[in-house]
Amino acid sequence: MILSPKDQITTPQAAVIVINFILGSGLLTLPRSATEKVHTPDVWISVILGGILTMIAGVIMVKLSQKFPQKTFYQYCNEIIGKWVGGLLSLFIICYFLLTSGFQLRSMAEVISYLLLEGTPTWAITMIFMWVGLYLIIGGINPIARLFEIILPLTVIFFLVVVFMSIKIFEIDNLRPVLGEGVIPVLKGVKTTALAFTGPEIMLLLIPFMNHPQKAVKALLVGVSIPLIFYVITVVMVIGALSVEGVVTRTWPTLDLIRSFEVSGLIFERFESLLLVVWIMQIFSSFTISYYAAALGLAQLSKKSIHPFMFGLLPILYIIAMIPKNINDQFKIGDFIGNVALWLFGLLPLLLLIISRIKGGKYETIT
Amino acid sequence: MKMKEWKSKISKKGKVTNNDKQEVDTSQDSTDQFTDNFILNLELVREEIGHNWDVHFREFNIGRTGIRSIVIFVDGLSDKDLIDKHIMPSLMVNFSAEYKHDLPYIKGSISTEFIKNEVLSISEVEKVGSIKELASKVLTGSTALLIDGSLDALILGTTKLKTRTIEEPVSEALVRGPRVGFTESLSDNTSFLRGSGENENLSLVKFQVGKHSKKDLVVAYIKDIVDPELVQEVENRIKKIDIDNVPESGYVEQLIEDNYLSPFPQVQNTERPDRVIAALMEGRVAILLDGTPFALIVPVTLSMMLQSPEDYYERWIPGTFIRLLRYLAAVLALFTPSLYIAFISFHSGLIPTKLAISIIGNRSGVPFPALIEALFMEISIEILREAGLRLPKPIGPAMGIVGGLIIGEAAVQAGIVSPVLVIVVALTAISSFAIPQYSTGFTLRILRYPAMFCAATFGLYGVIVFFLFMTSHLVKLKSFGVPYLSPVVPYRLSEWKDLMVRMPLMMMKRRPKMMHTKNPIRKG
């Protein structure tokens, strides 16, 4: 009881990690990026389809990992496809996590300097954020999971309060007609919306930490469904209030939605500060978990202690975050990360699963 | 006949223990044994402790037999009443008249054994063989009896510590609940726990702490509830205490806590026996130290620090209301000044326009930035509070009024601070008074300052980052193996019945799971 021999997380904790990883910058940008592709009010259908696709991909990843319930992806991919290819693949995934982490960091800095702190230098904003993140992940997966559990209910409450405040300017007509131009526009948007759900890949690493690895599928499904609900609510409210044309022209449509109404008689007339609180916490969770995933990968590849890697990655993350010259570069990097994720986590796990099936029961004895 | 058997049994027993003791003593030190020379013995004792002015020697003729004896005791520590009314009279009666034997026979049979078995009618009597042992016993309040011709001395239990009467606990006053508080006497305190009705399963294990001045420390737990590993861990940590003196349980707390760098208290202290009993019933362990009314409870969680026994004594609806109020107060005490700073200096656009205009209008004459303004007031309030604490009782409240009202009013009129800030500071101060644990209130008071600095540097963003930092620390913190934030995280919905909301008692059927109790069911 006093010291558990190994860091373990419960099934709800695994689900919470997935939820918090998915809910990141997408909350603010998804309405625009999806509407740009779809151009009809049916974005919410694309969001649902994207979520379902993500669930399928996630289940494949979980099934793959469950073949090796004691190992993370970094440890077992060598066994499936050999030491060198496996190592290279792990490196790719580490780079992916680093990029994601840096991307989250930069998105945060952009929004903060756009909305809250116009004069403050970006390095100062990112710096304290990174230090706090480092402080958290030094404690390992368990504190991370617990912090996420605290952030999640705050997110849900604040988010719902803020979004439902905007019901005043919601016009159902902006969402009509449903499927007015058929299903083709909807399908065009599915890729974009699916990318807003990147996050289940963390299950590749979480399963050995879970105290009931056999319940991982459940954790994953819950973990994707809750962001799905969030995204659908966001998209419906944003498009309902701002209309399709209004959404496309705005950089951060969700924030603009909150800024576009005032409720008098309450302490705050404008609620973007509440939304920002939630959003910063969500970015923090996405940032820390991908940071941790990258450090964990390096540690497991080199079979050394994780702490030097955590400290060593800090400047690298800062450099990655500073690469984009402006906000458009930043969005391009976001797209790039999305495409990488599509290949790495959409197709690769399926491939690996098939290979490991073909190789047969060889691993069953190991596990 | 029966009586005789019994007596001989006792005397045998006494002899056996006596022999055992002497063996032990000889192995330790053979130079300070008593000899059959009474004068020499007395001289040795005087040499050991006779230089102390409070040690009294009373020589007399035992049983009018002409055999010289002496009682040695410490004035103030020993119960003089007991010595005068029971010990001395029974030693000084005419033995031959009393025991119906002729004088020579009595004279021949006088020994420590005889005195112990036939003469003294007090409960605690033991024999010692060495002067060192005698000295240490006498100095803790026992009375020693030396008889000419005996190779050992009798130690009579006459210790009587001065204790104060039981009073209502000052630091944890309740409107409803028992008015009993712990005192400085360890035996009184343990008797409160025993007296609560839990008898055969309440374990009180004694330890000694302090290398130089040894103090008794009792670890209390309920045998059939507590997790044995927890008891083991507590005992290990107590055994590791290596310090020459432990004046108060705060020393123990600081020497056994998990993380000494954390601003959060990881051990709960309380003056209330009912609180200790409630904690024991949940499978926790209490530590009581001699000489202090503050008992320690481990392990603790943050939520415990925001609870008061009264939550349970009142009906559940007021209990819940008060508890929610306290959580709100904790948040206010921590974040109000920093939010004020953030909104005033960075995001005045985010507060309602009319309010913003009135605040900024009020502040227009203030020559300082919001941080300096807030620091000025916060620090004055803290000083006032500290000053009020040390002042004699009749002056304290007057001082509070003078300080709080006049300084606040005058500062506003002088244009040093804005009126809104006075409200903010007052609200913060009142909120921190609403925290039932003094030490936790302290933590919030201290953490307020880093939060204010973060707000002054990064505005609202700084406050959020500070919150994340603090929470990151809290999720890592453990108190004796129990996560500090449980049962909030990891989610244990069944225990949320007693977290922010205090559900009706009949719904709380289980003990907290985090305690890994042997007997998880409270009722039903």
pLDDT in tens, B28-67: 445 678 887 888 888 888 888 888 888 889 998 888 888 8
Nearest-CB residue to A132 (from B227, B468, B490): B468
Q: Is A12 on the interface with B (CB under 8 A)?
A: yes
Per-residue confidence (pLDDT) for residue A281, from 0 to 100: 92
Lowest mean pLDDT among A288-302, B266-280, B394-408: B394-408
Counting one residue from chain A and one from chain B, the pairs whose CB atoms sit within 8 A come to 98
Length of chain A: 367
Please state, in angstroms and as integers, the Cα–Cα distance from residue A141 to each residue in A62, A73, A292, B11, B514, following that order: 18, 16, 8, 67, 19
Q: What is the pLDDT of chain A when averaged over all its residues? A: 86
- Positive/negative CA dihedral, A223, A228, A229, A231: positive
Per-residue confidence (pLDDT) for residue A266, from 0 to 100: 65
DSSP state of B508: -
Considering only CA atoms, which of A24, A42, A51 is closest in space to residue A239?
Answer: A42
DSSP state of B294: -
Q: Report the run of H or E that residue B483 belongs to, with start and end.
A: strand B482-483
> Radius of gyration over alpha carbons of chain B, in Å?
32
Which pLDDT band holds residue A327 (cuts at 50, 70, 90)?
Answer: confident
Which pLDDT band holds residue A362 (cuts at 50, 70, 90)?
Answer: low
> Radius of gyration over alpha carbons of chain A, in Å?
20
Contact A146 B483 (CB under 8 A): yes
Contacts of B464 in chain A (CB under 8 A): 277, 280-281
What is the rounded CA–CA span in Å between residue A68 and residue B217? 51
Per-residue confidence (pLDDT) for residue B359, from 0 to 100: 83
Q: Assess whether pLDDT exceeds 50 at residue B70.
A: yes
What is the rounded CA–CA span in Å between residue B337 and residue B450? 11
Contacts of A135 in chain B (CB under 8 A): 469, 472-473
- Sequence spans of domains, chain B: 2-156, 186-300, 312-483
Contacts of B346 in chain A (CB under 8 A): 116-117
Domain A11-362: which topology? Answer: Amino acid/polyamine transporter I (1.20.1740)
Q: Assess whether pLDDT exceeds 90 at residue B334.
A: yes
Tens digits of per-residue pLDDT, B423-455? 899 899 889 888 888 889 899 999 999 999 999
More confident residue, A77 or B15: A77
Per-residue confidence (pLDDT) for residue A295, from 0 to 100: 94
pTM over 0.90: no
Which pLDDT band holds residue B26 (cuts at 50, 70, 90)?
Answer: very low
Per-residue confidence (pLDDT) for residue A316, from 0 to 100: 94
CB of B481 within 8 A of CB of A2?
A: yes
Tens digits of per-residue pLDDT, A28-75? 888 888 888 888 888 889 999 999 999 999 999 999 998 888 888 898
Q: Is B500 on the interface with A (CB under 8 A)?
A: no
Tens digits of per-residue pLDDT, B110-168? 888 888 888 888 888 888 888 888 888 888 888 999 888 888 888 988 888 777 788 88
3-state SS class at B420 = helix
More confident residue, A169 or B339: B339
CB of B290 within 8 A of CB of B187?
A: no
CA A161 to chain centre: 22
Q: Is A2 on the interface with B (CB under 8 A)?
A: yes
Per-residue confidence (pLDDT) for residue B273, from 0 to 100: 92
Tens digits of per-residue pLDDT, B344-369? 888 887 777 778 888 888 888 888 88
- Record the tokens describing residue A152, joined without a space: 């999640």
Contact A136 B465 (CB under 8 A): no
Nearest-CB residue to A10 (from B353, B464, B490): B490
Contact B227 A132 (CB under 8 A): no
Which pLDDT band holds residue B509 (cuts at 50, 70, 90)?
Answer: confident
Tens digits of per-residue pLDDT, B221-245? 998 889 999 999 999 999 999 899 9
The nearest CA of chain A is from the CA of B515 a distance in Å of: 9
Q: What are phi and psi of B458, to 5 degrees?
A: -125, 10
Q: Is A110 on the interface with B (CB under 8 A)?
A: no
- What is the 3-state composition of chain A as percent helix, strand, coil, each rounded to the nearest 5? 80, 0, 20
Per-residue confidence (pLDDT) for residue B25, from 0 to 100: 43
Q: What are phi and psi of A62, to 5 degrees?
A: -65, -45
Lowest mean pLDDT among A52-66, A108-122, A252-266: A252-266
Contact A150 B471 (CB under 8 A): yes
ipTM value greater than 0.85? yes
Contact B351 A117 (CB under 8 A): no
Place of tokens 């069953």: A364
Top residue of A9, A104, A135, A150 to mutate, by most chain B CBs within 10 Å, is A150
What is the rounded CA–CA span in Å between residue B451 and residue B467? 8
Nearest CA in chain A to B227: A1
The nearest CA of chain A is from the CA of B370 a distance in Å of: 16
Tens digits of per-residue pLDDT, A184-213? 888 888 888 888 888 888 999 999 999 888
Tell me the mean pLDDT in the region B299-307: 91
Tell me the mean pLDDT in the region B184-197: 86
Nearest CA in chain A to B471: A147
Nearest CA in chain A to B487: A146
The nearest CA of chain B is from the CA of A233 a distance in Å of: 24
Q: Is B453 on the interface with A (CB under 8 A)?
A: no
- Record the tokens describing residue A186, joined without a space: 């909807």
Nearest CA in chain B to A264: B352
Q: Measured in Å, how far apart are chain B's first and last C-alpha atoms? A: 55
